[in-house]
Homo-oligomer: A and B are copies of this chain.
Amino acid sequence: MSNTQIPYKIYIDESEMPRAWYNLRADMKNKPAPLLDPDTKQPMTAEHLSGVFCDELIAQELDDKNAYYDIPDEIRDFYKMYRPAPLVRAYCLEKKLGTPAKIYYKFEGNNTSGSHKLNSAIAQAYYAKKQGLVGVTTETGAGQWGTALSMACSYFGLDCKVYMVKCSYEQKPHRREVMRTYGASVTPSPSMETEIGRKILSEHPGTVGSLGCAISEAVEKAKATEGYRYVLGSVLNQVMLHQSIIGLETKIALDKYGIKPDVIIGCAGGGSNLGGLIAPFMGEKIRGEADYRIIAVEPESCPSFTRGKYAYDFCDTGMVCPLSKMYTLGSSFMPAPTHAGGLRYHGMNSTLSQLYSDGLMEATTVKQTEVFAAAEEFARVEGILPAPESSHAIKVALDIAKECAKTGEEKTIVFGLTGTGYFDMMSYEKFHNGIMTDYVPADEEIQKSLSKLPTVE
C-alpha cells in the first residue's frame, strides 16, 4: 500500500480495540526469575502477597503461563473514553528532517493523567473494587501515577490515598490539585500518619522526603487499614500486562496498513511503557515469526540496563518490597535530580531484564540536555509538547531518522510517546535559560550501591 494512503493519525475503530491483554511471559523460553521473600529468600506465594496487593492482581503477577487475559467490560468502557490512542505518522517531522525514514509514534498523552499510566491504574482500581475493597494507597513523586490512580478510583468510587514526596507536594501544586479534583486524599510524605513517617520525621525534622519513604508509608497504611490494599504504577509484571494494550493497538493499526517496523523504541524507567509497547512484537520475535530491532532508552544519569548488574535486589529504596531479579544500580543508588522523574529508578521490570539478558533487545543512554533539545525540535513541527521521559525515545528516533537522511535508508521507526510535558514547564524553563546540566554517575558511586545488594543463593 502506498504511503499517500496512510493518514496522519491512524485511529483504529472502537470495535477493533483489543479484547484481551497479552502476557508476554507465556511465550518466553527463559522466564523471568520469581519474586523472592526478602527474609526467607524463597519465592513469594500468593498468600505472602495477599495482605498488600489485591488478589486478582497477585494472580496476574505470578502467572507466566497464560498468554491472554480478557479485559473486563468495565475496563473496556473506561478505555473507550480515552482510547484507542492514535498511532501518528510524523509526516511533518520527516519533511523537516528530509529523511526517507518513516516515523510513527504511539501517543499516550491524550488523557488527563497525561500519560500511559492510566491504562494500568484503571485495571488495578477495577480489581480492588471487585474484591470489595474500600480503597487503595500508593506513593507518587512527580505525580503522574498518583493522578492516573485518582482518576481511576474516582470512576469506580474507591478511596484513594496518595503519599506524595514532600518536596513535590510543595513544588508541584498543580499535580496535587488535579488529584484533589478527582477526590484523592494527598498527604505530603513523610507524614505523622504512619509509624515509619513519624520515625523519619523525629530523626530528620527538616526532610523533604523520598520515593522510598513514601512507598513505605503507603504499604504500612494499606496493611494497617481494613479494606485497603497497596497499588504500584510500574516495575511489576501485572502493570506490564495491562500496558500491553499500547503495543496491541499499535500492531492492529500497523497491520491495517501493512506496515512492518524495523525499529521500535521506548524510554525505560521501571519498564511498564516499554514493556507494553513492545509486547506483541517481542512475542513474534521470540516465536520466530518476525524480527525487530528493539531499543530501550534510559537517562545517562540512571543507567540500569547499560551499567547496572543483573541480580536480585529490592524493588524499593525502603527495602520493604520483595526482591526481584533485574538490572539494577542497587536500591541505595540515588539518581541525580534530573527532570525525567519517571525514569529515576534504580531497577527495571524483571521480564524486560530477562529479555535484555537474552540479547533480544538493546539499550542505550542519552544526556538530559540533548533530550530537551530533541523535545523542542519535535514539538515545533509535530505540535505535541512531550514529557521529558518520552523525549528520551524521541531523541533516539531522531538520531536514527537523521542517519537515514545520510544513508538513504527507508527505515520504518516506531516509538512510544508516553505523555505530555504540561506539568514539566519549569524544567523546560531551565533548558531555555541554558542552566540545565547533565549528570553521569561515577563508577565508584554505582559500585558502592551495588556492593550493598542482598545476598541470594
Give the docked Cα–Cα distance between A435 and B382 (Å).
40
Partner of A92, one of B8, B77, B429: B77
A210: interface (CB < 8 Å): no
Residue contacts A-B, CB under 8 angstroms, 17 given: A8-B14, A8-B77, A9-B14, A78-B92, A81-B383, A92-B155, A112-B383, A114-B422, A155-B381, A173-B426, A173-B429, A177-B429, A180-B428, A181-B375, A181-B380, A182-B380, A422-B422
A82: interface (CB < 8 Å): yes
User: Which residues of B lie under 8 Å from residue A341 when comparing CB positions?
Assistant: none
User: Which residues of B lie under 8 Å from residue A383 when comparing CB positions?
Assistant: 78, 81-82, 111-112, 151, 155
Partner of A382, one of B81, B92, B177: B81
Q: Closest residue to A109 on the B side, CB-wise? A: B110
Pair B8/A13 contact, Cβ less than 8 Å? no
Give the docked Cα–Cα distance between A389 and B421 (Å).
22
Partner of A426, one of B82, B155, B174: B174
User: Which residues of B lie under 8 Å from residue A384 when comparing CB positions?
Assistant: 111-112
What's the minimum C-beta distance from A35 to chain B, rounded to whole angstroms?
A: 32
Partner of A112, one of B78, B88, B379: B379
A residues 216-244 touching B (CB-CB < 8 Å): none
What's the minimum C-beta distance from A13 to chain B, rounded to whole angstroms?
A: 7
Which residues in A have some Cβ–Cβ distance to B below 8 Å?
A: 7-9, 11, 13-15, 77-78, 80-82, 88, 91-92, 110-112, 114, 151, 154-155, 173-175, 177-178, 180-183, 375-376, 379-385, 420, 422-423, 425-426, 428-429, 432
Give the docked Cα–Cα distance between A78 and B8 (Å).
10
Give the docked Cα–Cα distance between A196 and B412 (Å).
54
Pair A183/B112 contact, Cβ less than 8 Å? no
Pair A173/B9 contact, Cβ less than 8 Å? no
Give the docked Cα–Cα distance between A423 and B14 (Å).
30
User: Which residues of B lie under 8 Å from residue A182 when comparing CB positions?
Assistant: 379-380
Pair B422/A174 contact, Cβ less than 8 Å? yes
Q: Closest residue to A175 on the B side, CB-wise? A: B425
Pair B80/A9 contact, Cβ less than 8 Å? yes
Pair A174/B380 contact, Cβ less than 8 Å? no
Extra 10 A-B pairs, beta carbons < 8 Å, given A154-B380, A181-B379: A7-B15, A82-B383, A92-B155, A111-B383, A155-B383, A174-B426, A178-B385, A178-B422, A178-B428, A180-B432
**A-B pairs with the 9 shortest C-beta distances?**
A8-B80, A174-B425, A177-B425, A7-B14, A154-B380, A112-B385, A177-B429, A422-B422, A177-B428
What's the minimum C-beta distance from A145 to chain B, rounded to whole angstroms?
A: 16
Give the docked Cα–Cα distance between A92 and B376 (Å).
37
User: Which residues of B lie under 8 Å from residue A14 when comparing CB positions?
Assistant: 7-9
Pair B155/A432 contact, Cβ less than 8 Å? no
Pair A183/B380 contact, Cβ less than 8 Å? yes
What's the minimum C-beta distance from A170 to chain B, rounded to whole angstroms?
A: 13
Q: Closest residue to A91 on the B side, CB-wise? A: B77
User: Which residues of B lie under 8 Å from residue A376 when comparing CB positions?
Assistant: 181
- Report if A423-B422 is in contact (Cβ < 8 Å); known contacts: A112-B379, A154-B380, A155-B380: yes
Give the docked Cα–Cα distance between A382 and B154 (Å).
10
Give the docked Cα–Cα distance between A81 and B385 (Å).
13
